[in-house]
Amino acid sequence: MEQVLDMSVMEELLSFADDGDPELVIDLIQMFLEDGPSKVAAVTEGLSAGDFDKAERAAHSLKGSSGNLGARLLQNACEEMQVATRYHKLEESRRLAPQLTQRFVEAELALRKLLATYKG
């Protein structure tokens, strides 16, 4: 099974902190967990309404935040969605939507587990 999180990204983020303090990582994960569901919803809503721009913007935003945290599978799913919506490929976009949602759920679960280890 593919790894949901690229832990080398987390290690790099932790390297920016004084004495390995995970405060920055905790903040980034919490922002992702708070904002991510609305981005996934915006992709779905955009597709339902035929608003490709809305779906593309949301996929782009989620791609960036997932990449910042090493959620590579989600990042890749967002990239595929972004391209499909940019070119108004409705059927492809609808086919990709469940995968993007599933990848978000996987990343969310992995990040919640990681967050619990940082918070002790």
H or E element: which one contains 115? helix 90-119
How many domains are contained in the chain?
A: 1
User: Has residue 37 been placed in a domain?
Assistant: yes
Going by C-beta distance under 8 Å and a sequence separation of 6 or more, which residues neighbour residue 61?
Answer: 39
The answer to the question of residue 1 being in a domain is no
Is 98 part of any domain? yes
Any domain includes 2: no
* Within a domain: 15: yes
Q: Is residue 90 part of a domain?
A: yes
CATH code, 59: 1.20.120.160
What pTM did the predictor assign?
Answer: 0.94
108-118 pLDDT, tens digit per residue, is 999 999 999 98
Q: Which two tokens stand for residue 59?
A: 């996929």
C-alpha to C-alpha distance for 54 and 59, rounded to whole angstroms: 9
pLDDT less than 70: residues of the chain: 1-2
**In which domain, by residue range, is 41 found?**
7-119
